[in-house]
Structure 1
């Protein structure tokens, strides 16, 4: 495995967010207002992305079904019964008293995952969360254009996790350009890239792993096209974010979910 493949965007503990956006420090006892965003990111509004999930191991995810979270394979440790993960949903502020918290019961890591490609996993929840789910792309129709990313991860490379959900838009980066950046580390048939190639400045970062990259379909509904996977640092020029290409694994994800 190359050094670049080791730079997964997970965190040891904490919540998920976007490089290039920042919030003022807050305390648990206050009800602070997020600071103005910088470098292309903005705080998400309550209810804007109701499918977003924060996972207690320091990753993100999205509600694939009301009792199943789609996340990254590198966020979990194999497949089987697992009650150690807590999914938090329903809020942009992780300290909100309105947050919904549900424990996991089982994890299914992508069959054959070995650290390269196939970076998806499903987490079964002990009970359903009554929030909208996020549909997944089943072909490559929407694997282009401008995407939205969101999370609670580090706001700067090497920074701490954040309290509030942030969002940003990032453009598609071609396989050729992504391959030029990451060389043999990039698996073109299984991954999709996005970011501002020349200038950098907006990107997912540590703690955003497993979160969705999504866009609107022809009917205006959100559809997931990627899963936050890895990158060289965060928001660096010439190094776009790399995401698992959901459409490649749609059939496998659907089949795995049906068996949980």
Structure 2
């Protein structure tokens, strides 16, 4: 009996020592590692992002299926369509900084769940929101379009359904999309001197390597580390005026759509050796995380397990 009691006391001492070591080890973890882990675990809610209502493969200039990309939103100023945007939370949209630069955000509205802007019955299916706040990137340069990214906070949240869902942010483990095919969707002009489209259209464009982008007609000086090119060397297919702020998106290995770029700038539309230039979203993941504050993000397939 005495030996059993002594053994139990020793066990308690050993257990206490182990607990002490674990606690001290936790204190030794760098602050930035602990805070990042906390944000990662806290930042996702019980919903899925990037679910496409796909109907057919993308060919140049196709009209989309109704609500095929349920995160696409339109920004209007004074009732006139102005730019595109992408829904990333129940309250927040991602767009280009130049789309809101110089505007009073109280004069802007966003429309979600839209397809044909001339459809007389569209008010039954769309959601229209005012803006509570906007955050243009603090280092946006209107001359070079560097850091051309902004977050819009709507004045009230939306409910997710088959018509309105968020797009996924890119996985920060995968930085190079060169050679991948991305999809642009928007209500922009169908050609350089054409009219703004009344229906949502989509085109597929390949992402260029940084070297190829530098060797384009823009030259290396015009392309910052926060930009990438996408398009065809021969031209013919591209984003155009009115597509600004909208997403360039592609499917990840799990089939979810990620927004890897924001339509930013270009010389003309679909010109030879002058591809579209996009803001590289993966460079701004921490900035986006800070901008949405306590609002959670939906999980993509890679984060569901």
Q: Which protein is richer in helix relative to its size? A: 2
Match of 2:9 in 1: none
Q: Does 1:67 align with 2:91?
A: yes
The aligned counterpart of 1:89 is 112
**TM-score relative to the length of structure 1:** 0.80
Instruction: Choose from 202, 226, 231 the match for 1:190.
Output: 226
1:124 paired to 2:144: no
Query: Which residue in the other structure is 1:239 paired with?
Result: 274
> 1:69 & 1:85 partners in 2: Cα distance?
13
Aligned 1:201-212 pairs, distance under 5 A: 201-212=236-247
Name the residue aligned to 2:67: 47
Show the 5 A alignment for 1:74-223.
74-77=98-101, 82-95=105-118, 96-97=122-123, 98-115=125-142, 116=144, 117-130=146-159, 131-139=164-172, 140-141=174-175, 143-144=177-178, 145-181=180-216, 182-183=218-219, 184-187=221-224, 189-197=225-233, 199-223=234-258
Compute the displacement of 1:259 (Å): 6.8
- SS of 1:255's equivalent in the other structure is helix
Alpha-carbon displacement from aligned partner over 1:209-247 (angstroms, at most 9, x marks no partner): 100000011110000100000011000110110000000
Distance 2:281 2:140 in 1: 15
Query: Are 2:76 and 1:56 aligned?
Result: yes
Greater alpha carbon shift after TM alignment, 70-79 vs 46-55: 70-79
TM-score w.r.t. length of structure 2: 0.68
Equivalent residue, structure 1, for 2:56: none
Secondary structure of the structure 1 residue equivalent to 2:98? helix
Separation in structure 2 between the aligned mates of residue 247 and residue 78 of structure 1, nearest angstrom: 26
**For 2:194 and 2:132, how far apart are their aligned partners in 1?**
31
Q: Unaligned regions of 5+ residues in structure 2, if any?
A: 1-58, 296-305
Computing the radius of gyration over CA atoms, which structure comes out larger, 1 or 2? 2
User: 2:302 maps to what in 1?
Assistant: none
Instruction: Supply the distance in 1 between the matched residues of 2:236 and 2:75 (Cα, whole angstroms).
Output: 26
**Unaligned ranges ≥5, structure 1:** 1-38
Larger relative contact order (Cα-Cα within 8 Å, sequence gap ≥ 6): 1
Tell me the matched-pair count.
Answer: 220
Q: How much has 1:256 moved relative to structure 2?
A: 1.3
Secondary structure class of the residue paired with 2:107 = coil
